[in-house]
């Protein structure tokens, strides 16, 4: 079951936001043709360590289920090659700075002359227009400029541990491209879909955004605790930390006696009280938790129906039987590395045991690996 098996995607992107969008479409069965510069290809091919047999694990993370071709888009031959691809494509992905594609001779108007049904997904750093639309996009800068770092961390603003602005821009972009593809099935016409790292950051402000836009309050940082629910966060035990989420008054009435509190204690009787007295509440909980190790507390909390969990490292996540049961690791045969495992697609359809929409996943390609096969296909 390959949901997008009839869709051809031309991926001109590099680094992470655009490649992630392309990989999402590839995971759903689309044919994704990644066009790279002959001299080195996608920048992320050089991002490391670690490298394994010369292959960047960073590149491997964002480019499964794609083919790679090389072309110099500044040359006449490269422009001709891209023109042929565009004519056969359903979706074009690009994350150049605003104006670059125009200077290469492929303005939106030209793209739709070549292919009126083409969906163009354009991902920029701060938007394609506006007073700072020309700025280059880098994840950590966008996390700071987009407000996410201001509500993350404890003593000082902290970035998220993955390039979350890039990843979310890619997700929003793929979602928009599929909406436009659906529209084309009705109208026959393509359109441009735009998003940016900035837009992705604002798009996930959630309750922090409305705290300002509606209540006029500037959110701050609360470390490993929820800004508007308590107790909800990470707590130290005798040997390790556990995460606990008390998300309702019913759960509070069950949880409070576990840590020696009266649920009606005036300091903590309502969620607003508990948020207002958060530091005191954390101290009481951690004093109780210090009497036993984390595993014992997790067992007790589970018995009482209180949501709780461990803080796992990456190795522990990939060795966890629950992760494995969800098909979140895939096996591919890489032309250089041989048989390897990759993190897999995060979607499952119906009752299939594997994730994504492909029965067979393609390994991230070597630079130019499909030069011959793609050019033969264009000549058909």
**How far apart are alpha carbons 65 and 301 in whole angstroms?**
42
Counting beta carbons within 10 angstroms of the beta carbon of residue 40, is it exposed (0 to 12), middle (13 to 18) or buried (19 or more)?
Answer: exposed
Q: Are residues 199 and 71 in the same domain?
A: yes
Q: Are residues 265 and 153 in the same domain?
A: no
pLDDT given for residue 228 in this prediction: 94
Residue 225 lies in a domain: no
**Residue after which a domain boundary falls, among 310, 339, 367:** 310
Residue 32 lies in a domain: yes
Residues lower than pLDDT 70 in the chain: 1
Residue 219 lies in a domain: no
Residue 106 lies in a domain: yes
pLDDT given for residue 380 in this prediction: 85
Question: Smallest Cα–Cα separation from 121: which of 53, 178, 202, 49?
Answer: 178
Full-model pTM = 0.94
Based on the structure, what is the number of domains in the chain?
A: 2
Annotated catalytic residue: which of 129, 166, 265, 295? Answer: 166
**Residue after which a domain boundary falls, among 280, 310, 340:** 310
Counting beta carbons within 10 angstroms of the beta carbon of residue 95, is it exposed (0 to 12), middle (13 to 18) or buried (19 or more)?
Answer: buried
Domain of 94, CATH number, reads 3.40.50.10540
Q: Are residues 158 and 274 in the same domain?
A: no
**How far apart are alpha carbons 12 and 10 in whole angstroms?**
6
Q: Take residue 60 and report the two structure tokens written for it.
A: 């491997």
pLDDT given for residue 312 in this prediction: 95
**Residue after which a domain boundary falls, among 310, 332, 366:** 310
For 66, the domain range is 8-204+324-378
Is 166 tagged catalytic?
yes
Q: Are residues 32 and 156 in the same domain?
A: yes
pLDDT given for residue 354 in this prediction: 78
Dihedral in degrees, nearest 10, Cα atoms 155, 161, 165, 170? -160
Domain of 305, CATH number, reads 3.30.1540.10
Residue 80 lies in a domain: yes
**C-alpha 305 chain-centroid distance:** 31
Q: Are residues 131 and 161 in the same domain?
A: yes
Q: Are residues 186 and 265 in the same domain?
A: no
Largest CA distance in the chain: 77
Q: Are residues 187 and 39 in the same domain?
A: yes
Q: Are residues 108 and 252 in the same domain?
A: no
Q: Are residues 194 and 300 in the same domain?
A: no
Residue 319 lies in a domain: no
C-alpha angle 105/106/107, rounded to 5°? 105
pLDDT given for residue 12 in this prediction: 98
């Amino acid at each position: 079951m390959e949901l997008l098996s009839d869709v051809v995607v031309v991926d001109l992107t590099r680094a992470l936001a655009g490649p992630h969008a392309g990989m999402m479409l590839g995971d759903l069965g689309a044919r994704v043709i990644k066009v790279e510069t002959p001299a080195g290809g996608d920048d992320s091919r050089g991002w490391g360590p670690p490298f394994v047999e010369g292959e960047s694990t960073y590149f491997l993370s964002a480019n499964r289920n794609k083919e790679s071709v090389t072309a110099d888009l500044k040359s006449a031959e490269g422009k001709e090659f891209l023109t042929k691809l565009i004519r056969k494509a359903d979706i074009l992905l690009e994350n150049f700075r605003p104006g670059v594609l125009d200077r290469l001779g492929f303005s939106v108007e030209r793209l739709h002359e070549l292919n009126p049904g083409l969906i163009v997904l354009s991902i920029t750093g701060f938007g394609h227009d506006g007073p700072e639309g020309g700025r280059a996009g880098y994840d950590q800068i966008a996390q700071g400029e987009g407000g996410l770092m201001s509500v993350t961390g404890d003593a000082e603003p902290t970035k998220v541990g993955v390039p979350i602005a890039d990843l979310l821009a890619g997700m929003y972009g793929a979602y928009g491209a599929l909406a436009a593809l659906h529209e084309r099935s009705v109208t026959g016409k393509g359109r441009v879909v735009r998003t940016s790292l900035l837009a992705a950051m604002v798009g996930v402000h959630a309750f922090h955004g409305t705290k300002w836009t509606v209540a006029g309050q500037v959110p701050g940082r609360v470390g490993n605790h929820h800004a508007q629910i308590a107790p909800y966060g990470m707590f130290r035990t005798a040997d390790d930390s556990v995460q606990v989420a008390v998300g309702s008054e019913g759960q509070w009435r069950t949880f409070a006696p576990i840590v020696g509190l009266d649920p009606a204690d005036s300091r903590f009787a309502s969620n607003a009280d508990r948020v207002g007295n958060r530091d005191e509440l954390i101290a009481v909980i951690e004093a109780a938790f210090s009497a036993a190790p984390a595993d014992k507390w997790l067992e007790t909390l589970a018995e009482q129906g209180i949501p709780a969990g461990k803080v796992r490292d990456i190795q522990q996540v990939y060795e966890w039987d629950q992760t494995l049961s969800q098909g979140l690791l895939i096996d591919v045969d890489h032309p250089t590395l041989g048989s390897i495992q990759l993190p897999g697609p995060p979607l499952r359809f119906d009752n299939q045991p594997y994730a994504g929409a492909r029965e067979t996943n393609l390994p991230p390609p070597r630079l130019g690996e499909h030069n011959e096969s793609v050019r033969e296909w264009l000549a058909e």
